[in-house]
Amino acid sequence: MTEHAALLDVAREAVAKATEIVRSRPTFSVSAKGDRDLVTDVDTAVEDALREFLAAETPEIGILGEERGRSGDGGGRWWALDPIDGTANFARGIPLCGISLALVDGEHSTVAAIALPYLGVTYTAARGEGAFANGKRVGASTATELSDAMIAVGDFAIGQLAEEKNRARLTLLSDLGARAQKIRMLGTAAIDLAWVADGKLDAALILSNNPWDTMAGVLLVREAGGAVVDRDGSEHTVGSAATIAVGAGLRKEIVDALDRAYGVVR
Q: What residues form the annotated binding site for Mg(2+)?
A: 66, 82, 84-85, 213
Q: Are 158 and 248 in contact (CB under 8 A)?
A: no
- Element at 152 (helix H, strand E): strand 150-153
Residues 6+ apart with CB under 8 A from 163: none
d(CA 226, CA 134): 19
Helix, coil or strand: residue 167: helix
Q: What is the DSSP letter of 40?
A: E
93: nearest Cα among 75, 71, 110, 118: 118
**Alpha-carbon gap, residue 242 to 254, rounded angstroms:** 13
Query: Are the C-beta atoms of residues 192 and 152 closer than 8 Å to each other?
Result: yes
Q: Are strands 69-71 and 98-105 parallel, antiparallel or unpaired?
A: unpaired
Binding residues: 66, 82, 84-85, 213
